[in-house]
């Protein structure tokens, strides 16, 4: 995490910071980055995930854990009040597109209701100074013009995409109606060490190659996506909060964060295979439905206003990720 440590500022030192979704991929690395900067962290945890990085002994001792659900507004209000929280970073969500297609109600409740409960709790908490909301490139839905710009309409069609469009719009509503200090991050597909959902492309491909098995591709291999290393994603959330402190007029604004390198699935698998010196041929299952075929973002606004730049190239991020899984699976 050296690259994130370089961003250390007095802003985070001893700052009461509330994170939802801290056991997830991005949340775990975000907690690690904030601990390095001396923040006073409170995490809301619904499900105990023993494999999560945040629950490892070296981190859990430094974090206050509150068991609860982000849909429980009273619980969230109590946490914000009891711990005198100043900065909120809302990551909690059902993030698996396939799960959303099979079980849309759970996804709508977690992602949409969870967002309005959190924002209403923040509105009632006078000490809260910044709220960073994790939206997604999926919020844009299918667009005729690419790359996605922040001015594009939010028009998700499929369950997960709709949940993110709604999350985004609700956050904007609280900013413009109530003056709540909210900013919104729209990122591409995250990857990095610690993601143990083996159905996802990057961890699943790496594990298959380590196990000398053919990587399995759920789609036809031609879906185009942005991929963002998880450490750069964590950095983006931190920079958003700091920017809102410096410039309160940013409330209600949304920012895209992307490496601005769009690849189809087969191209990404080929890169991973090359880095791992593998000639295993991927199995194309072509099982995917109800997903957007082409998505990629422009980060011009984030560069211009926030001065954001990714620390990691696709190559350096993938190499770190491969090494993380080699060590993890060897230990397992």
Long-range interactions of 209-213: CB distance < 8 A, separation 24+ = 209/272, 209/273, 209/276, 209/278, 209/280, 210/276, 210/325, 210/326, 210/329, 212/280, 213/280
Paired tokens of 116: 């309005």
Which residues neighbour 250 within 8 Å (Cβ) at sequence distance 6 or greater? 183, 243, 244, 305
Paired tokens of 170: 């609700």
b vs e for 286-299, b when ≥16 Cβ sit within 10 Å of the residue's Cβ? eebeebbeebbbbb
CA–CA distance, 60 with 31 (Å, rounded to integer): 10
Q: Which of 160, 191, 229, 325 is the catalytic position?
A: 160
Residue 28 three-state SS: helix
Which residues neighbour 246 within 8 Å (Cβ) at sequence distance 6 or greater? none
CA-atom Rg of the chain in angstroms: 19
The runs of H, that is alpha helices, within 223-277 are: 230-246, 265-275
Per the annotation, the verdict on 160 as an active-site residue is yes
Q: Among all chains, which residue has been given the structure tokens 């939206």?
A: 135
CB 212: neighbour CB atoms within 10 A? 8
DSSP string, 64-123: EEEE--TT-HHHHHHHHHHTT--EEEE------HHHHHH-HHHHHIIIIIHHHHHHHHHH
Backbone angles phi, psi at 189, to 5 degrees: -75, 125
Comparing C-alpha atoms, which of 287, 276, 256 is closest to residue 325? 276
Report the catalytic residues: 160
């Amino acid at each position: 995490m050296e690259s994130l440590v370089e961003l250390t500022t007095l802003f985070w030192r001893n700052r009461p910071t509330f994170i939802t979704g801290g056991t997830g991929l991005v949340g775990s690395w975000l907690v690690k980055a904030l601990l390095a900067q001396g923040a006073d962290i409170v995490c809301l945890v619904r499900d105990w995930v023993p494999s999560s990085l945040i629950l490892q002994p070296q981190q859990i001792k430094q974090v206050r854990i509150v068991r609860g659900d982000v849909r429980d507004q009273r619980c969230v209000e109590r946490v914000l009040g009891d711990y005198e929280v100043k900065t909120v970073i809302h990551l909690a969500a059902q993030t698996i597109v396939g799960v959303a297609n099979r079980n849309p109600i759970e996804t709508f409740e977690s992602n949409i209701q969870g967002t309005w409960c959190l924002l209403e709790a923040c509105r009632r908490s006078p000490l809260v100074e910044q709220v960073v909301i994790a939206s997604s490139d999926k919020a844009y839905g299918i667009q005729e013009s690419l790359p996605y710009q922040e001015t594009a309409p939010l028009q998700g069609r499929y369950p997960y995409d709709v949940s993110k469009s709604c999350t985004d719009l609700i956050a904007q509503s609280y900013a413009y109606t109530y003056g709540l200090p909210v900013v919104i991050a729209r990122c591409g597909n995250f990857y990095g060490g610690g993601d143990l959902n083996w159905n996802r492309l990057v961890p699943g491909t790496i594990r298959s190659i380590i196990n000398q098995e053919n990587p399995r591709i759920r789609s036809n291999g031609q879906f185009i996506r942005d991929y963002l290393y998880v450490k750069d994603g964590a950095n983006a959330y931190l920079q958003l909060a700091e920017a809102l402190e410096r410039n309160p007029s940013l409330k209600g604004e949304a920012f895209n964060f992307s490496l601005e390198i769009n690849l189809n699935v087969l191209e990404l698998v080929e890169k991973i295979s090359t880095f791992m010196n593998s000639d295993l041929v991927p199995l194309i299952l072509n099982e995917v439905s109800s997903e957007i075929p082409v998505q990629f973002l422009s980060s011009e606004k984030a560069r211009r206003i926030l001065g954001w730049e990714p620390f990691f190239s696709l190559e350096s991020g993938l190499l770190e990720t491969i090494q993380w899984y080699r060590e993890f699976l060897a230990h397992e």
